[in-house]
Amino acid sequence: MSKIKVATIWLDGCSGCHMSFLDMDERIIELAQHMDIVYSPYVDAKDFPENVDLTIVEGALSTDHDLKIIKTIRQNSKKILALGDCAITGNISAMKNLVGTDAVLEKGYFDLADFNKGKYPSKIVPKLLDKVIPLNEAVDIDFFVPGCPTPADAIYEVLKGVIEGVEVDVSKYTRFGL
Ligand code: SF4
């Protein structure tokens, strides 16, 4: 059986869902026999590749860069998996929406800054969107795997299902605030 090409990316999330991926432990070796990781924080690829079979996305969309990359991912991925509650609902990342972008920038660059107080980010820093949004508000998503973080067992079952072409019910892994 040929290997599927898998990418993973971490947008506005805390990396906890990528840590859960690593928590699959020795099962990663089993999965690696059926998939190649072609782009990810786990490997050293610089540009998002073409013709990816599955891209796993952690985190919500908070910046103009996030919006740009998710559209690139959609164009180059057969399937996209939203990994974790930030990607699916906005979750922790979307708490900014309660106060708004201006208040967040003011808190970070005026009130709490120790250095360069009062200097807003340079133009090379991606611009914050007015509102943090989940992935499916920008592009179509094929799989949703919830959790904060997503449990390693759920990630394993879903990846095994994708490899075998079998649909997997992950509702038993859904948990809130645990
Ligand atoms: S869902 Fe939870 S663990 Fe995953 S990126 Fe968001 S805050 Fe982190």
**Where residue 156 sits, what CATH number does that domain have?**
3.40.50.700
The atom number, within ligand 1, closest to the CA of 59 reads: 5
Rounded to the nearest angstrom, the distance between the alpha carbon of 133 and the centre of ligand 1 is 14
Segments in the chain below pLDDT 70? 1, 175-178
Assess if residue 22 is contained within a domain: yes
The residue to which tokens 């990396």 are assigned:
15
Q: Cα(28)–Cα(72) distance, rounded to whole angstroms? A: 27
Q: What pLDDT, in 10s, does the model give residues 49-100?
A: 999 999 999 999 999 999 999 999 999 999 999 999 999 999 999 999 999 9
Assess if residue 19 is contained within a domain: yes
Assess if residue 165 is contained within a domain: yes
Structural domains of the chain, count:
1
Assess if residue 101 is contained within a domain: no
Assess if residue 102 is contained within a domain: no
Q: What pLDDT, in 10s, does the model give residues 66-79?
A: 999 999 999 999 99
Whether the Cβ atoms of residue 77 and residue 38 lie closer than 8 Å to each other: no
Within 6 A (CB) of ligand 1 lie 13-14, 16-17, 58-59, 84-86, 91-92, 148-149
pLDDT at 114: 87
Output the CA torsion sign for 154, 26, 6, 83: positive
pLDDT at 1: 67
Instruction: Provide the domain limits for residue 83.
Output: 4-94+129-173
Rounded to the nearest angstrom, the distance between the alpha carbon of 94 and the centre of ligand 1 is 11
Output the CA torsion sign for 3, 4, 5, 11: negative
- What secondary structure letter does DSSP report for 25? T
Q: Using most ligand atoms within 8 A of CB, pick from 15, 92, 95, 96 the residue to mutate for ligand 1.
A: 92
pLDDT at 175: 63
